[in-house]
Chain A
Amino acid sequence: MIITDLLRARVFGPDFLGFVSDVRFSFDTSSIGQPAQLYGIIVSPHARSSSLGFERSGVRSPWPIAALVRWRHRDSFLVRWADIERIDVNRIQLRKGFERGSPSLP
């Protein structure tokens, strides 16, 4: 699988929830050479596009662009890998009772 199979895919819980706007990986810097694991997907209800780096919690400028991008990606949420039930072409199904996390980067 390649990452563009996941990006912009439509995400469903019981109903349509949004689009995959980004995919988050994690890795442990204490172990050199450790692969980056898929941590979760960021689901945006209104936009398929990237949030251009404004998901970083401290980025607020330039404010007109930040405001526009945050508005387009309002109500975005992070879904962890464990809550993904099925991946099909351009469609991701989440498990019942999945948890919505904050999409902000620390």
Chain B
Amino acid sequence: MTTASDDQSPRWLDVHLHLLDRQVLDVHGVPIAVVDDLELSEVPAGQEIPRDTSPPVITALLSGPALATRIFGGRPPESRMVRTPWIAVREVGVVIKLSVGRDTQDLSWTERWVRDHVIGRIPGGRHTPKGEHAQSNDRGGS
């Protein structure tokens, strides 16, 4: 995992400044989510932390319905938050780039479900419209 700046080590990440609300792009540069929260490895909460305890690490980026809880307090149900494992993060910069495609992530399951069960059942919905593929190739695949 790298940052968009130079490669001196160590590097620092401030949660508000570098991670929260950042857009997440998959390996093809397609936006798939924003970072609403971070999941940390186990922290001994509610008890004294021994001085030699290893610091927690970021285990996943979390995305979900966090707007209401940010305004009114509390936290969204864990079941509503979708995890992106931290190990899939390739670069942290203006956006967060992943090393995997969006189809491998739970984040885009609704989009895939609608594609497979709704759009795909509409006549003509399972292929790129004629001519558009060639046009997009002429535009450089954008």
What residues of chain A have their CB less than 8 Å away from a CB belonging to chain B? 1-5, 7, 21-30, 32-39, 42, 50-53, 55-56, 81-82, 84-89, 95, 105-106
Contacts and interface: CB of A to CB of B under 8 A. Distances in A.
**Closest 8 interchain pairs by CB?**
A35-B57, A50-B16, A3-B38, A81-B55, A38-B55, A25-B13, A29-B9, A23-B15
A2 B57 contact: no
Nearest to B38: A3
B14 A24 contact: yes
Contacts of B38: 2-3
B51 interface: yes
B87 interface: yes
A3 B51 contact: no
B48 A29 contact: no
Contact of A87 (B9, B10, B49, B87): B49
A86 B55 contact: no
Contacts of A22: 14-17
A22 to B, nearest CB: 5
Interface residues of B, number: 40
B23 interface: no
Contacts of B3: 29
Contacts of A4: 37, 66, 69, 75
Interface string B1-45: 111000111111111110010000000000000000111101111
B1 A33 contact: yes
Nearest to A84: B49
A1, A52, A86 pick with most chain B CB within 10 angstroms: A1
Contacts of B14: 22-25, 42, 55, 105
B141 to A, nearest CB: 28
Contact of B47 (A2, A5, A26, A86): A86
B49 A27 contact: no
Nearest to B16: A50
A25 B58 contact: yes
A33 B49 contact: no
A35 B58 contact: yes
B56 interface: yes
Given A32-B1, A37-B55, A37-B56, A27 B10 contact: yes
